[in-house]
């Protein structure tokens, strides 16, 4: 049994009848039992956003409306429950669990411009919607929002929200070190003294931040996060487990699969919202066969995505993790495969009910346009069971 | 249009404008480092240039909106700070410490190198600040390992003098009294659990090297 948890305490907790009452949690295959210190920073909910910059072709999640387009033959797609259909690339790759926990969420933002769509999809009342969601989920983790690797979309609102900002994670080992400490090396600072040292550095930087409140906003936020991280009880993590699961041989978040591994790390560390930006050629013009999008999806996305769904949604009973796949907009079905003005997002989660509010018609546009950006984020807040939902009512009846 | 008419029209265009460019030129000659927004506001001649006061023709976009409608009123010399990119840090540490900390090379991926043939404005994160402190401490251990002045435990008076000297060297400017006080606090009370004098000084050195005075420009 883990340290600090007696047999009597364990049996009492079981008798309480709720898994959350155990107080510790199994971190999948990463670290086994973790002591009580972890409970102080647990976040039960987390949302991971896989943002395909440029567009997310609706052929993957509404092929039934696109017969004759994008190389889709009658019946040439995979049927799920509740009249939901997915492209065979997804049908052949997704696990049975993923197919039983997928919803397609329609969102009409009304614009076919990349920068405007990117800003619109990430905005809520002039704030970054991801940060608003991170705040709503709550918890006491020092890093409540993170972006893994490069590609942070600068068209999104970059300002912090209630001192929450997207912390960029570029190296998993450095992050593990920061979260877990415990390295024995006389040339490393003592963690408690480092807290005082960085606190002093922060104090020595205040005048500079005051004179550059915008250009140095990330630095201002960074000191706060560093201090909070050092104040938080340490959590041991193992890169070895992540490396094996995602097929990595380096700790740098420099590949797509490394981004998903880093997302898993951050969710386990208690981060509420993790953003993964993929800047491949998802703005797939002149691809009427859909070949390019399918190749990109099968080439580097589906593998790590499946691993993440298996480890973090299917086999992670003490966290409610939601994965949302989205992009600027869908593609129209003209020979130039231009931009639509709406989006069919794919959402996976333990409490996601199979269904679709994002069906499209033959031109690639939403069949029943209506709900907008706020409603998409409202759905995500509902699906992850956030304590509060700042985005208004959720019109998508696809939450268990 | 002949040359004479062009000159007359140019003079007329300049005359019509109500913008105070002379005041702006004065502000551009000022050094931005270390100035707070309050300092800038109090500077004589640092007149805020309100775009709404600029006269002349209004140019509109295709949708009929003024091209300058989104222009914000910003104080001169504000928001000039930028984070030093990772690629500059080796030279910077060598400049102030005499050698590059060995741990800097291993921290490269922490700072998120830009994709090939691309440039991204560096952004800080909690992890980069933590890594920066570790690298600084590593370098400062070497900086404080031989000089006799670091053999004695830091006291408020000695720490104030040394913090001032370190800040002057690391930041290329004199520290303010509050900045010195923050460094002294690290050297004395912040390192209370550290028994070795040289390591205490190394922590103070690392804190000064992790401040924005060194990590930004």
Contacts with B, A 80-119, CB within 8 Å: none
Residue A49, φ and ψ in degrees, nearest 5:
-110, 115
| pLDDT score at A5 | 38
Instruction: Report the complex ipTM.
Output: 0.83
Tell me which chain B residue has its CA closest to the CA of residue A218. Answer: B124
Q: Helix, strand, or coil here: A1?
A: coil
Please state whether beta strands A78-79 and A85-86 pair in parallel, antiparallel, or not at all (unpaired).
antiparallel
| pLDDT score at B120 | 84
The residue behind tokens 């009848």 is A17
Distance CA B45, CA B53 (A): 17
Contacts 24+ apart (CB under 8 A), A185-191: A187/B103, A187/B137, A187/B138, A187/B141, A188/B134, A188/B137, A188/B138, A189/B133, A189/B134, A189/B137, A189/B203, A189/B206, A190/B193, A190/B194, A191/A230, A191/A234
Helices and strands in chain A: count of H runs, count of E runs: 13, 12
Distance CA A71, CA A104 (A): 21
Compute how many other C-beta atoms are within 10 angstroms of the C-beta atom of residue B170: 23
Which strands form A355-356's sheet, in the order they lie side by side?
A167-169, A145-148, A273-278, A45-52, A320-327, A342-349, A102-108, A355-356
Would an 8 Å CB–CB cutoff place A218 in contact with chain B? yes
Distance CA A193, CA A181 (A): 13
CB contact under 8 A, B185 and A190: no
| Residue B77 confidence (pLDDT) above 90 | no
Q: Helix, strand, or coil here: A291?
A: helix
- The pTM assigned to this predicted structure is 0.83
CB contact under 8 A, B212 and A211: no
How many residues are given for chain A? 400
Compute the average pLDDT of residues B123-146.
97
**Alpha carbon of residue B43 to chain centroid:** 20
**Residues 6 or more apart in contact with residue A331 via CB below 8 angstroms:** A55, A57, A58, A59, A284, A287, A293, A337, A338, A339, A340, A364
| pLDDT score at A182 | 66
CB contact under 8 A, A194 and B109: no
* Residue of A150, A194, A213 with shortest CB distance to B133: A194
Would an 8 Å CB–CB cutoff place A214 in contact with chain B? yes
CB contact under 8 A, B77 and A211: yes
Compute the average pLDDT of residues B198-212.
98
| pLDDT score at A7 | 45
Note down pLDDT in tens along chain A; length 400 residues: 333 334 444 344 343 334 333 333 333 333 332 222 333 344 589 999 999 999 999 999 999 999 999 999 999 999 999 999 999 999 999 999 999 999 999 999 999 999 999 999 999 999 999 999 999 999 999 999 999 998 888 888 889 999 999 999 999 999 999 998 768 899 999 999 999 999 999 999 999 999 999 999 999 999 999 999 999 999 889 899 999 999 999 999 999 999 999 999 999 999 999 999 999 999 999 999 999 999 999 999 999 999 999 999 999 999 999 999 999 999 999 999 999 999 999 999 999 999 999 999 999 999 999 899 999 999 999 999 999 999 999 999 999 9
Distance CA A274, CA A283 (A): 23
* Residue of A142, A170, A196 with shortest CB distance to B112: A170
Q: Is A188 exposed, middle or buried (0-12, 13-18, 19+ CB in 10 A)?
A: middle
Q: Nearest C-alpha of chain B: how many angstroms from A358?
A: 32
| pLDDT score at A35 | 26
**Alpha carbon of residue B145 to chain centroid:** 29
Q: Read out DSSP for B173-213?
A: SPPPHHHHHHHHHIIIIITTT---HHHHHHHHHHHHHHSHH
Q: Read out DSSP for B3-51?
A: HHHHHHHHHHHHHH----HHHHHHHHTS--TT--HHHHHHSTT-----G
Chain B interface disruption, residue of A222, A232, A250, A251, most B CBs within 10 A:
A222
pLDDT tens for residues B154-201? 999 999 999 999 999 999 999 999 999 999 999 999 999 999 999 999
| pLDDT score at B73 | 73
| Residue B140 confidence (pLDDT) above 70 | yes
Distance CA B5, CA A126 (A): 49
In chain B, the percentage of residues whose pLDDT exceeds 90 is: 59
| pLDDT score at B65 | 77
Q: What is the mean pLDDT of chain B?
A: 82
Tell me which chain B residue has its CA closest to the CA of residue A165. Answer: B125
């Amino acid at each position: 049994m883990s340290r600090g948890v007696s047999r009597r305490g364990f049996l009492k907790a079981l008798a309480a009848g709720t898994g959350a009452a155990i107080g510790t949690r199994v971190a999948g295959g990463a670290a086994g039992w973790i002591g009580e210190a972890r409970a102080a920073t647990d976040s039960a909910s987390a949302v991971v956003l896989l943002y395909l910059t440029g567009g997310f072709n609706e052929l993957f999640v509404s092929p039934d409306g696109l017969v004759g387009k994008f190389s889709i033959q009658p019946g040439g797609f995979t049927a799920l429950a509740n009249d939901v259909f997915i492209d065979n690339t997804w049908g052949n790759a997704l696990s049975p669990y993923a197919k039983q926990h997928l919803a397609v969420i329609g969102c009409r933002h009304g614009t076919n411009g990349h920068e405007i769509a990117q800003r619109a999809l990430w905005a809520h009342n002039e704030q970054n919607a991801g940060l608003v969601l991170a705040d709503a989920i709550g918890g006491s983790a020092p890093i409540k929002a993170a972006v893994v690797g490069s590609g942070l979309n600068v068209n999104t609102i970059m300002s912090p929200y209630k001192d929450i900002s997207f912390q960029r994670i570029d190296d998993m080992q450095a992050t593990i070190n920061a979260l877990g400490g415990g390295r024995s090396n006389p040339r490393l600072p003592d963690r408690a003294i480092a807290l005082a040292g960085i606190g002093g550095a922060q104090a020595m930087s205040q005048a500079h931040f005051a004179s550059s409140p915008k250009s140095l906003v990330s630095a201002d936020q960074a000191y706060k996060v560093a201090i909070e991280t050092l104040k938080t009880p340490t959590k041991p993590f193992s890169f070895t487990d992540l490396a094996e699961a995602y097929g990595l041989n380096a700790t740098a978040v420099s590949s797509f699969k490394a981004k998903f591994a880093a997302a898993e790390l951050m969710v386990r560390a208690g981060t509420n919202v993790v953003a993964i930006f993929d800047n491949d050629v998802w703005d797939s013009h002149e691809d009427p066969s859909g070949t390019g999008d399918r190749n990109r999806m099968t080439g580097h996305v589906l593998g790590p995505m499946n691993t993440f769904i298996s480890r973090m949604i299917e086999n992670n009973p003490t966290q409610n993790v939601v994965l949302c796949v989205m992009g600027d907009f869908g593609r129209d079905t003209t020979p130039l495969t231009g931009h639509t003005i709406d989006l069919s997002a794919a959402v996976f989660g333990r409490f996601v009910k199979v269904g679709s509010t994002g069906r499209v018609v033959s031109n690639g546009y939403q069949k029943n346009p209506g709900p907008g950006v706020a409603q998409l984020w409202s759905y995500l807040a509902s699906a992850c069971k956030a304590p509060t939902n700042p985005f208004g009512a959720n019109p998508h009846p696809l939450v268990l | 249009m002949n040359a004479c008419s062009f000159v007359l029209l140019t003079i007329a265009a300049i005359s019509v404008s109500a913008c105070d460019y002379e005041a702006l030129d004065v502000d551009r000659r000022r050094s931005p480092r270390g100035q707070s927004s309050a300092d800038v506001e109090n500077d004589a001649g640092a007149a805020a240039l309100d775009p709404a006061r600029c006269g002349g023709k209004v140019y509109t976009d295709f949708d009929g909106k003024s091209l300058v409608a989104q222009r914000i009123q910003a104080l001169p010399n504000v928001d000039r700070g930028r984070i030093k990119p990772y690629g500059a840090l080796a030279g910077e540490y060598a400049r102030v410490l005499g050698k590059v900390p060995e741990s800097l090379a291993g921290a490269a991926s922490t700072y998120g190198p830009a994709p090939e043939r691309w440039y991204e404005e560096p952004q800080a994160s909690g992890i980069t600040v933590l890594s920066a402190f570790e690298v600084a401490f590593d370098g400062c251990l070497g900086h404080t390992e031989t000089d006799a002045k670091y053999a004695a435990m830091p006291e408020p008076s000695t720490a104030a003098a040394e913090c001032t000297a370190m800040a002057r060297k690391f930041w290329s400017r004199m520290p303010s009294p509050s900045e010195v006080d923050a460094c002294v606090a690290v050297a004395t009370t912040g390192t209370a659990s550290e028994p070795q004098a040289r390591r205490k000084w190394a922590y103070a050195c690392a804190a000064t090297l992790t401040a924005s005075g060194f990590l930004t420009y």
